[in-house]
Each structure stands twice: as structure tokens, then as C-alpha cells.
Amino acid sequence: MPRHARVILANVPIHLIQRGHNRQACFFSDKDCDNYLAWLQTHAEEAECTIHAYALMCNHVHLLLSASNPTALAAMMKTQNQRYVRYINKTYRRTGTLWEGRFRSCLTQEDTYFFTCQRYIELNPVRASIVAHPADYRWSSYRANAEGEPSSLVRPHPLYIALGKDDAERQEAYRGLFTDVLRPELVEQIRRATSGNYALGNVQFIEQLNRTLGRAVTPGKRGRRPNP
């Protein structure tokens, strides 16, 4: 089946996932993660992308970001992936590809799905049963967003800024978003939108994008299964 073109608009949040080839590992040590995040900061600044949240898992990467223009995201990921692959191949004396190919992404409606998507990303280690609480996982943005851990990479979205009058109030409000787990249907909705390079939002948001872009930005309805 042909791949859907990515739905990207300037300054509208995007959830991105980049998987390892054949879902194999792409991070092998703490140093690998440190280097990936340091280079991501550099390449995000060069491409004029703003990182709001991230999670580095063993075999894939989640990012929530805003891009200054529709081509900024692809430019950032191209330089980031190429640099990281060169480093991994040299460090571990390997050759060939590391990533699965094109990253997958979904445009995310700010007022309805932004924090849902951010929670989805930072709860990844919990869903994977790696940790019991997102604060226990070192390689995500949760500590920066929820506890004020210094980060030169993470930049708060205006919706995050609006959570409170100062950092302490915002962090407390943000932690409150994690008192409930994400409903399974929301998790599936995010996964489906991201895997298909669709948009994530309510009916009005989707209809507006359909008119603006002149094409469908959500998967078609599945046919009804015949009775057995």
C-alpha cells in the first residue's frame, strides 16, 4: 500500500516516532542516549524545531515538537539520524542501517490532544513495565516537565506555560495530569494516527485540515465484518 504523505503545519505540535530497523535496539549504553539528546538539541535549533517532550526507549524514539515550517522536521531528523548512525557504526564496529526508514508522525491538536500525547510519550516506560512511575526513568522529559530538572533540550509549549503562574505551580499541575492512566482507546488512537502519518484531533480539527490540505488526514472507516 502507498504511504501517506506526512501532515505537517508550521508551529502545530507533532508527535513523532522513529523505530530501530526490524525493531532492533538503537541505544546500547547511557553514553549513546547522552549523545543522541545532545545532538538532537543542536539539530533542533539549526532546523528551528522546538522539543516539548521525548522518550528514548531501547529500540525507538518518541518526540513531541513544534516545527517552524513544514520542511523543518524532515531536515532535523535527516541530520540527526545520519549523525547518530555514523556514531553507532563507528563505536560498535558495525555497518548498515540502524533505523526502520522514514519516521512516523501525526499532527496533534493543541487544546484537545497536546497533553494527552505528552503523557503518552512520558508514560511509555511505564507501559513497557520498565519502571513503575515516569519519574523513575532517566531517558524521558518527565523530570524536566514535572520536577523542574534542568534541561537544555526541552522547551515548554504555551499550553504548559499556562498551567500556572510560576515553575512550581506549573510542575504541580503537570504532575496532576498523571494521576490517571491513559485510557486504552486513547493509546490506540495515538498509535494509529502516528503509524499512519495522520492527524490527531477532534472532528472540527480534522474537517478543517481536510479543507486546508485538500485530502483526508485520518484513516478511512473500516468496513463492517460479516457475521460468522
- The pLDDT tens digits for 153-200 are 999 999 999 999 999 999 999 999 999 889 999 999 999 999 988 889
Q: Say how far apart CA 32 and CA 139 lie, in whole Å.
A: 11
Structural domain boundaries of the chain? 14-207
Give the Cα separation of 199 and 207 in Å (integer).
Answer: 11
DSSP strand pairing (104-108 vs 60-67): unpaired
Q: 226: number of CA atoms within 13 Å, CB side?
A: 1
Which residue reads 518526540 in cell numbers?
63
pLDDT value of position 85: 97
For 179, the 3-state DSSP assignment is coil
User: Cell 539520524 belongs to which residue?
Assistant: 81
Please list the pLDDT of the chain residue by residue as tens digits (228 residues): 445 567 788 899 999 999 999 989 999 999 999 999 999 999 999 999 999 999 999 999 999 999 999 899 999 999 999 999 999 999 999 998 999 988 999 999 988 899 999 999 999 999 999 999 999 999 999 999 999 999 999 999 999 999 999 999 999 999 999 998 899 999 999 999 999 888 898 888 888 888 877 777 877 554 343 333
CB 62 within 8 A of CB 15: yes
CB 105 within 8 A of CB 16: yes
Pick the CATH number of 14-207 from 3.30.70.1290, 3.40.50.150, 3.60.15.10, 3.30.365.10: 3.30.70.1290
